[in-house]
Structure 1
Amino acid sequence: MFKTQAESQEFLLGFLPYLVETPPEREVVLCVPFTDLSIMSKNMHGTRVQLGAQNVHWEASGAYTGEISAPMLLEVGVRYVVIGHSERRQFFGETDETVNLRLKAAQSFGLTPILCVGESKQQRDAGETESLISMQLQKDLVDIDQHNLIVAYEPIWAIGTGDTCEAKEANRVIGLIRSQLSNPDVPIQYGGSVKPNNIDEIMAQPEIDGALVGGASLEPDGFARIVNYK
């Protein structure tokens, strides 16, 4: 929940020039608040940046005050949507069952969902990382097309805390995630205190395909350094 429309436009103006350095095969997606989607879509038209939303409801319309549907997102040019982010699970009652419904809705309208899975510090300390993530995947991915899917591993204990999961450990968990997918080519990202000073090490890991960036994406130059990792 950052940036007004004016602030988002200012960010984009500062960020786009850095993309001349970005390899052509590298995809960049900005997942912005709902109120910013329309203005960002207009300003991103013709650039190589794709537009994403931060959530989507499982119904196309209805009495769901405060929610946003897939057709509403499509109308403003959204192509990707984050689903099951740890903050939605932690603060807003998201469950694996509702995550599954949102994934189905996104895919039924042609959106590509970015499914977030991950464990808390308490769960990690209890040795439950593997079993918890396996359970999340099992429940979240029921009847989901794994050929139109991105998965993001976000260790909750490393989000906004400054405690980055060691790159090799992130690689190990992402390898575990990949082993449980029916499509091994699903892109799997790491998200959790990704910063300009650790992105090179993270992206050097063989199992990690990309990064889901939080606070470090708010400044154009810092985010550009992450996008243009070596």
Structure 2
Amino acid sequence: MLPSPVAVVKAFVSDFPTLMYHSGVSLAEAILGLLIGIVLAFLIAVLMDRFITCRRALYPVMVVTQTIPTVAIAPILVLWMGFGMAPKITLVVITTFFPIAVGLLDGFSGVDQDAVDLMRSMGAGRRQIFLQIKLPSALGQFFSGLKISASYSVVGAVVAEWLGGFRGLGVYMTRVRKAYSFDKMFAVIILIVIISLLLIAVVNLLRRAVMPWERVQEERS
């Protein structure tokens, strides 16, 4: 039942062009969904931080969206939006925005209140306090949530492709599973792991570029 590592490597090499084609589709869906999820999470986090009413109204809805299994909501999205990229991207957005929004909200809430009071005493407005105090202090939590969402994005795209589509790693996995090609199944699994690790590595590079003070602190320590 289980293929040998040699058989998996051979399947990976023999189907490499096909795997690259389908992985390009899945990666495009994952990245687009992740970008939309980042924008949505940022807007929601800012609204919940600014207005306590929005926080009380939106936070329970956010939690509910994460309790719904993706395999349950994916068929509904396919029925509503068809077999194109739209339902896949939507599922990725639903899967990825929550960790980012929660991370940003915790970062905004955990800001140094003394620094905020100092800015206010110097005549700073809400916008200046947000850009110079709250946003920089929330970047650490933002990138922590982004790493989680980056790994979820590929999984979300693949799960949506399982249930309806013409291209992508999920469609490829469905086809090889029906053919009992377990060596190709494991090859796809390894490829998904590699893509997820690469996305996490990209997030780490972005964090080091956006937060240079962390690198300075590491060098001093």
Q: Report if TM-score (shorter chain) is over 0.5.
A: no
The structure whose Rg is larger is 2
Please report the TM-score for the alignment, with normalisation by the length of structure 2: 0.25
Please report the TM-score for the alignment, with normalisation by the length of structure 1: 0.25
